[in-house]
Structure 1
């Protein structure tokens, strides 16, 4: 089984200490592509939230959904601390999963 096909909860950011978005999916790579290309109209496309700053993999979708709900209830400071623990530079973790780096305009396909 490919790693990106595992259920996971993820946190996207608009930039270092920027606007955060928490989501859950069973196909992280496909979901990241959707977010990065603004294929899903809504909060992430309006606020240009494309950078993967944290993710947690699960064996089944139910625990991932529960974790997403838990993280969404957290105070912003707790979420920032969680990101800083594993990714203090707030780098785009999607690059490590094989996706291209975001451009200077934050979109992988240009401004």
Structure 2
């Protein structure tokens, strides 16, 4: 893994149009690696959410948490539209981080 740290809001999925999870992290590389390895018990592990399909860098955790809370209130279709605008094939973007 790269040592560079990204503060970011992100969306994980198990497949195209599948279950979605929105999170925020001060170290996106590490956090996504933890999700992919199944090291974090809970929702992402239970539903096999290992594909990073969208992320948005932020300058600080305060704005990242605010954006995370906002996205979690969005209707599902808005979230899908957000992903498909930047990642229409729902590719796993993790490789672009490492």
Q: What TM bracket, shorter-length normalisation?
A: over 0.9
Structure 2 unaligned segments of length 5 or more: list them: none
Give the length in aligned residue pairs.
97
TM-fit CA distance, 1:33: 1.0
Q: Deviations over 1:24-66 (max 9, x none)?
A: 0000110011100110100000000010000000111100000
Give the TM-score, by structure 1 length.
0.84
Ranges of 4+ aligned residues in structure 1 off by more than 2 Å: none
TM-fit CA distance, 1:3: 8.6
Greater radius of gyration (CA): 1
Give the TM-score, by structure 2 length.
0.94
**2:37 maps to which residue?**
37
Match of 1:5, SS state, is coil
Q: Which has the higher contact order (CA 8 A, sep 6+)?
A: 2
**Over aligned residue pairs, what C-alpha RMSD do you find?**
1.3
